[in-house]
Structure 1
Amino acid sequence: MSNQAPTPDPLQSLRLLVPAPPSGGTHVDWQDLAAEYPHGFPDDYCVFMRDYGEGEFDNHLMVFPPVPDVYPQDPDSTVRGVTAEARYQAEEDEYDQPDLLVGWAMTADSDLLCWRTTSSDPNDWTTVIWRRQWLEWQAFDFGMTEFLRRFAARDLPELWTFDLPYEGCRFIHSRDTKRLHLEGINPWRPEPAAGS
């Protein structure tokens, strides 16, 4: 586990490091999801979906929505899909209580990022990662937004290092990535693409 104290308001700190998409995030009707996700979600995830939505940080870390949106024919690119993969992997590795894992992101290296749902209050959930290249689980004592803030601040050097063609950190919503690809534009070029 990390021994650094979490930031008091990691979502605000994340916004200062990485602007949210100008066109907003992903609309989610949370009441409609109560039957599919009876455990609920952390408040910061709900706000993140509203402000940022499904999308990718630095062409590396993809945050998934609870239900398909940009790619409606790909139900695996959701919290449910990542959760199923994480629980399967945890069972294969005899990881403690795989049913407590709820996936929320995946990396380009196929690392799986999950909440460990040891509390009935989703706001108390912490982060666990399956490091595929190292075949190990790694636990952190903070939630999703603090993890993303540290990712954006390059404050997780033990996990990933980057050689990016630009400074700082970027987030691009999946709808913008899809649009730019259709226009033949690489969204991860040195200069940000307009509207991304």
Structure 2
Amino acid sequence: MRSGAAAFSVMLFPSVATDMARATSTAMVCKQRGPEMRFHLAAMALVTMFLAAPADAALKTGAAAPEFSARASLGGKEFDFSLADALKKGPVVLYFYPAAFTRGCTLEAHLFAEAMDEFAAQGASVIGMSGDDIETLNRFSTSECRGKFPVASDADRKIMQAYDAVMPHRPEYANRISYVIAPDGRVILEHTSPDAHGHVEKTLEAVKKWKSGQAN
């Protein structure tokens, strides 16, 4: 039970993987370790290996993004989000994350909130998606998203499944995957990484590239 909990914690908090790998390397140079210690070290090494090779998403560049509507929250205020309606205004950054108020997901929300002016300057909108209930997201959208962008509830996991964004081995959670969807409904970027860092940079870069192409 403890090993399973540790593995899941690292998946949600990817920065822990580096510390675990370092601790494993240091401990293994010691000559005298009991069998229980060796077991835990092996388990940690496997977790680190798992994190280093995230599952690929099925939706690749050029694929048609599945249409969806979902209950969402912006600054604690609920509304019905429609991908089709959002695409009428410009490209949409749709990012999936495991769970509100966990370390990595909170960091990612902060990073997107800080970059919202840049996305808006490119005519793009952002929406986060998780399996959290809407009551939780009302709080998350206010405190961690800072009222800058909405987060939607996918409690039945149907949208996660449509976007192949279900976390391997923990299907009740979303994997950390970001998509950029052009106004024509086509995926122009897919970025899969358990590390919260990089998702804003990759999606913003794709949006800028798309806008530059429209100007030419």
Select the structure of larger CA radius of gyration: 2
Per the normalisation by structure 1, the TM-score is: 0.31
Write 1 or 2 for the structure with the bigger share of helix: 2
TM-score by length of 2: 0.29
